[in-house]
Amino acid sequence: MARPRKDDKRARILQAAVKVFARKGYFAARVSEIAKKAGVADGTIYLYFRNKEDLLVSLFDEVMAAHLEAGRQEMKAAPGPAARLLRMAEHHLRALGENRDLAVVFQVELRQSTKFMERFTASWLQDYFQLLYGVIEEGQRAGVFRPELPKKLVAKALFGALDEMVTSFILSGKDYDLAGLAAPVVDLFLRGVAVPGKVAHARPVLAATGAGRGGK
């Protein structure tokens, strides 16, 4: 009845690609297997994507665009910098915790070459970091975040911590509540490990770090 239109096929191919990439890995994934799982002929894939790599890249770009926009909206609604960080963290962990295959593709397959990594960094991560920068500066202006901390360092550290939660989740093979880790991670970031007043500065905080990722 409903005519299976172009976008239907494209979407089915992408869904199939996520599954196959996640299970086999990008290199071991066979285009013909993706086609089979999508219910189309091998050649049909090439009507929608330039080649195998374009499948991965398109997957990435489209998921990222949607994810980031949703994250932006969600964050806006939160009251104050601390709550915003929490929202972002929850959004990050929820998105990947809800779709294990997608998470595998993002945590593992997309990082198998500096080429992909650089693309990842240049497109998604920069935007993600911009959001974080905004929140951090806001917190510093409001006097609730330590003003001497370099925002780039903070953003990288927070992203790195969350990223590790996702990777750990993937590799655990278990299905616990990944998004539930957002709160303790953010709390850890906000208040630190040390009992206040009990730990002296390890060393004075250095100024800055030079380039952000990909600042080539």
Q: Is 77 in the site for its own copies (CB under 8 A)?
A: no
Residue with smaller CB distance to its own copies, 1 or 211: 211
Strand, coil or helix: 103: helix
109 binds its own copies (CB under 8 A): yes
Kindly report the length of the chain: 216
**For tokens 């494209």, what's the residue?**
10
Q: How far is the CB of 51 from its own copies (least distance, A)?
A: 16
Burial of 210 (0-12, 13-18, 19+ CB in 10 A): exposed
**What is the size of the binding site for DNA (CB under 7 A)?**
20
Q: What single-letter DSSP state applies at residue 79?
A: S
Residues 37-76 that bind its own copies (CB under 8 A): none
Mask for 15-34, x = binds DNA (CB under 7 A): -------------xxxxx--
| 130 near DNA, judged by CB under 7 A | no
Query: For DNA, which is the closer residue by CB, 58 or 167?
Result: 58
Q: Quick one: 76 or 191, whose CB is closer to its own copies?
A: 191
| CB-based contacts of 117-123 (< 8 A; 24+ apart in sequence) | 118/214, 119/57, 119/60, 120/60, 121/213, 121/214, 122/214, 123/61, 123/64
Instruction: Compute the distance between CA of residue 133 and CA of residue 155 in angstroms, rounded to an integer.
Output: 7
Could you give the CA distance from residue 136 to residue 73 in angstroms, rounded to a whole number?
A: 17
Give least dist CB 116 to its own copies, A. Answer: 9
What is the smallest separation between the CB atom of 60 and DNA, expressed in angstroms? Answer: 16
* Partner interacting with residue 65 (select from its own copies, DNA, none; CB below 5-8 Å by kind): none
Q: Is-contact 62 122, C-beta < 8 A? A: no
Residue 134 as a binder of its own copies (CB under 8 A): the answer is no
Tell me the C-alpha distance between 165 and 169, whole Å: 6
Q: Which is nearer to DNA, 1 or 207 (CB)?
A: 1
Q: Scan residues 86-115 and list those touching DNA (CB under 7 A).
A: none
User: According to the binding rule CB under 7 A, does residue 5 interact with DNA?
Assistant: yes
Contacting positions for DNA (CB under 7 A): 3-6, 9, 28-32, 40-44, 46-47, 51-53
